[in-house]
Amino acid sequence: MISAAPPIRIEDPSDSRIAAFLSIKERDLTGRQGRFIAEGTVVLRMLAAAHRSGRGITAEAILLLENRLAGVAELLAQFPADVPVFMADARVFDAIAGFNMHRGVLALGRSDAMPARDALIAALPAASLVLAACGISNHDNMGSLFRNAAAFGVDAMLMDASSCDPLYRKSIRVSVGSALTLPFAREGTAAELIERLRAAGFAIWGLSPRGETDITEIPPSPRTALLVGAEGEGLPPPILSAVRTARIRQRPALDSLNVAMAAGIALYQVASANGRI
């Protein structure tokens, strides 16, 4: 049975047991050394789910403002007892975390046991929806992509190595924790990604304002991958010429949709067409 560790009170911000939480805003932990920071109760709940799923995301430690303890007791019980829970009063907490945007609920996680891209693709179910992305450099957009992907039943999110880290603090927050629960890999080039997805039987559709097919006309397919490109430029021409392309109708003479917005609309259509939502 799962039961939380009894909370350990921290009196000294320099206590070595909470060293990893020090000044998280300044350091903005980004999965470097396979570590990330999760903030707030909603994300903590997703971290618990990710930890239990055994897919490579684990919780290392939890740090709470003491007055939040009672409110999250049920949530703490979802973590195994070997995940230490620290608590501190407001003065000590702010001295540790260095800012007050965390609402008193922080967790430190590890992601270093996640499956690599090819293993992840190999493990996808026969009927799958994948969101692939290349060159996504904005953490808000990355978080929004995950949030939308989760809402519309995406099985895995696959990014090229030039995309930013979904486990950056802000990206996790914007994803409402979906960056922790939705399987993903971030490695290699977009060209390799397309090749691997094609070998695995995926119909690959690149989203572009100049796409050939209206998104409502994308035919159902047991395995569909939507591919989106960087904010601003979109998908590079060599990639667009290597896949089928789809467009979202909109008023002309305006900037194209935000990438997460475009992905959300297209995922909604494709997930609907495939009876996944």
> Which residues here bind a copy of itself, judged by CB under 8 A?
42, 140, 144, 147-148, 150-153, 176, 178, 216, 248-251, 254-255, 257-258, 260-261, 264-265, 268, 271-272, 277
Distance CA 148, CA 262 (A): 10
Choose between 190 and 248: whose C-beta lies nearer to a copy of itself.
248
Choose between 185 and 263: whose C-beta lies nearer to a copy of itself.
263
Choose between 103 and 249: whose C-beta lies nearer to a copy of itself.
249
Closest contact distance (angstroms) between CB of 262 and a copy of itself is 9
Closest contact distance (angstroms) between CB of 95 and a copy of itself is 26
Q: Which of 139, 51, 63 is nearest to 103 (CA)?
A: 63
Choose between 137 and 272: whose C-beta lies nearer to a copy of itself.
272
Choose between 162 and 258: whose C-beta lies nearer to a copy of itself.
258
Closest contact distance (angstroms) between CB of 176 and a copy of itself is 4
Distance CA 50, CA 15 (A): 28
Distances, alpha carbon 276 to alpha carbons 183, 222, 226, in Å: 17, 10, 15
Choose between 107 and 263: whose C-beta lies nearer to a copy of itself.
263
Choose between 55 and 170: whose C-beta lies nearer to a copy of itself.
170
- Yes or no: say if 198 and 170 are a contact pair by the CB < 8 Å rule: no
Closest contact distance (angstroms) between CB of 148 and a copy of itself is 6
Closest contact distance (angstroms) between CB of 228 and a copy of itself is 14
Closest contact distance (angstroms) between CB of 191 and a copy of itself is 30
Residue type, position 258, single letter: N
- Token readout for 237 is 């021409």
Strand residue runs (E) in the chain? 8-9, 35-39, 58-65, 85-88, 105-110, 128-133, 156-159, 184-186, 203-207, 213-214, 223-228, 244-247
Distances, alpha carbon 2 to alpha carbons 70, 76, 154, 173, in Å: 18, 10, 29, 26
- The DSSP result for 36-83, as a single string, is EEEEHHHHHHHHHHHHHHTSS-EEEEEEEEGGGTGGGHHHHTTS-TTS
Closest contact distance (angstroms) between CB of 180 and a copy of itself is 12
